[in-house]
Structure 1
Amino acid sequence: MIKVKNLHKSFSGEEILKGIDTEFEKGKTNLIIGQSGAGKTVFLKCLLGLITPTEGSIEYDGKAYATLDKEEQRELRKNMGMVFQGGALFDSMTVAENVMFPLKMFTKQTKSQRLDRVRKVLDRVDLLNVDKKFPSEISGGMQKRVSIARAIVNQPKYLFCDEPNSGLDPRTAILIDNLIQEITKEYDITTVINTHDMNSVLEIGENIIFLKDGRLEWQGNKDIIYKTESESLSNFVYSSDLFKKVREVQLKGI
C-alpha cells in the first residue's frame, strides 16, 4: 500500500499539487485520471521518487520516503517496476536482453538464474517465442508486453504504468488492461496507472483517483463512478456519446 498525506508540489512559486490525501491499495489496479494540467504526471513522479514534494509525505507500506537513507531508497527502487508510455525499450537489445536489464542492474544473480527468470516472465506475457527478436521486429502490443515483463522481472512490490495503452488499438488495449490486472492480483502488488483511457477506467478501475487543478476531486471505483455528483468528473469520463449512453443504461439499472 502507498499512503499519501497532504502532498504539495510547487515549481518557481506555482503550486501544482495542492494538498492531496489518498491511498493506493495493494492487490488492486489504482488509476489516476484527470484533464491535462491536473497534476497527474507530477503526482506520478512524486510517487516514483523522481521529484521531491514541497510539503507532505508518501509512505510505502508504512515507511515514509523522506526518512529513508540512500541505501534504503535504492532498496525501495528495486521494488518498483515501471511501464513507460512509449515502452522505452532499448533498440539495440533483444527482447530477452531488455527484460534482463533490471536483473543486471539490481541483483547479483548468475547468468543462469537471470535467464531462468526472464523465461518465466516472458512466458507469463506469452512472448517466449520472440525472446531473440529486437523491438523493431515485433508489434506495438508485443512491445508493451515486453515492457510489462521487464517491469515485473524483479518481482516488485509496486508497479507504475504511465499511459500503458497509448498508441494501441482498442482490442490490444483491452488485452494490456487485462494483463496488468491479472499480474496485479497474481503478484499481490500495488499497481498505479496514469491514464486517459476511459475504457480502462470503466473496465479495471478498482480504485480511481480523479485530480482537478492539483486537488483530489473524487475517489471511488468503476462500479460507482456513474453515480458521481461531481460535474467535472462526469464531463471528463462521459465526454463521448458512447459513454453517455453507457451511463444512462447503468443509471436505469439502479
Structure 2
Amino acid sequence: MIRVENLHKSFGDEEILKGITTTFEKGKTNLIIGQSGSGKTVFLKCLLGLFDAEKGEIYYGEKAINDMDDDEKKELREHMGMVFQGGALFDSMTVEENVMFPLRMFTKKKKDEMLHRVNEVLDRVNLVNANKKYPSEISGGMQKRVAIARAIVNYPRFLFCDEPNSGLDPKTAILIDNLIQEITREYDITTVVNTHDMNSVMEIGEKIIFLQKGTLAWQGDNSQIFKTDNKDVTDFVYSSDLFKKIRDIQNLED
C-alpha cells in the first residue's frame, strides 16, 4: 500500500498540489483522474520520487520516502514498474531486449535465467514469438503490452501507468485495461493509473481519486462516481468523449 499525507508541491510561486491525503490500496487498480492542469502528472511524479514535495509524506509500507537513505530509495525503485504514456520502448532494441532491460539493470541473473523470465511475461501478455521483432514492426496495442511486460518482469510491488490507453482504439484500450487489472490481482501489487479515460474508470476503477486544481476533491470507486453530488466530478464525467457519444446516440434515437 502507498499512503500519502498532506502532500504539497510548488514550482516557484505556483502551488500545484495543495495538501493531498489519500491511500493507494494493494491488489487494486487505483486511478488518478481530473481535468488537464489538475495536478495528476505532478502527483504521479511525486509518487515515483521524481519530484520532491515541500511538505507532506509519501509512505511505501510503513516508511516515508523522506526517511529513506540512498540505498533504501534504490531498493524501492527496484520494486517499481512503470508503463509510460507512449510506451517508451527503445527503438533500436528488440521486444526481448526491451523487456530484459530492467533485469540487466537491477539483477545479476544469468542470461538464460533472464530469457526464461522474459518469455514468461511475454506469454502472460499474449506476445509469444514476438521476441525478435522491433517496436516499429508491431502495432500500438502490442507495444503497450510489451511495455507492461517490461514493467512486471522484475516482480514489482508497485506498478505505475501514465495514460496507458493513449493513442489506442477503444477495443484495444479495454484489453489493456483488463490486462492491467488482471496482473494487479495476480501479482497482488499496488497499481496506480493516471488517466483521463472514462472507459478506464468504468472498467477498472476500484479506487478512484479525483483531483481538482491540486486538491483531492473526491474519492470512491466506479460505482460511486455516478452517484456523487460533487459538481466538479459530474462535470468531468459527463463532459467525457464516452458520454458525449452516448448522448449523441440517445439524440438520434429520439
**What TM-score do you get using the length of structure 2 for normalisation?**
0.95
Distance 1:245 1:11 in 2: 37
Shift of the alpha carbon at 1:240?
4.6
SS of the residue corresponding to residue 159 of structure 1 reads strand
Match of 1:205 in 2: 205
Match of 2:134 in 1: 134
Match of 2:156 in 1: 156
Distance 2:98 2:21 in 1: 36
Alignment of 1:56-135 (within 5 A): 56-135=56-135
SS of the residue corresponding to residue 217 of structure 2 reads strand
SS of the residue corresponding to residue 87 of structure 2 reads coil
Shift of the alpha carbon at 1:245?
9.3
Shift of the alpha carbon at 1:246?
7.2
Match of 1:54 in 2: 54
C-alpha distance 52-139 of structure 1, shift in aligned 2 (>3 A): same
Q: Deviations over 1:140-165 (max 9, x none)?
A: 00000000000000000000000000
The answer on 1:18 being equivalent to 2:18 is yes
Specify the code of the residue in structure 2 equivalent to 1:74. Answer: K
C-alpha distance 123-245 of structure 1, shift in aligned 2 (>3 A): closer
Match of 1:37 in 2: 37
Distance 2:241 2:68 in 1: 48
Match of 1:227 in 2: 227
Distance 1:212 1:41 in 2: 13
Match of 1:169 in 2: 169
Distance 1:70 1:240 in 2: 42
RMSD: 1.4
Match of 1:250 in 2: none
Distance 2:241 2:186 in 1: 35
Distance 1:154 1:237 in 2: 36
Instruction: Indicate the percent of aligned positions where both proteins have the same amino acid.
Output: 73
SS of the residue corresponding to residue 116 of structure 2 reads helix
Shift of the alpha carbon at 1:238?
1.4
SS of the residue corresponding to residue 211 of structure 1 reads strand
The answer to which of 234-243 and 125-134 deviates more is 234-243
The answer for unaligned runs of 5 or more in structure 2 is: 248-254
Shift of the alpha carbon at 1:243?
2.8
Q: Deviations over 1:15-51 (max 9, x none)?
A: 1000000000000000000000000000000000001
**What TM-score do you get using the length of structure 1 for normalisation?**
0.95
SS of the residue corresponding to residue 192 of structure 2 reads strand
Specify the code of the residue in structure 1 equivalent to 2:219. Answer: Q
Distance 1:245 1:13 in 2: 40
C-alpha distance 135-18 of structure 1, shift in aligned 2 (>3 A): same
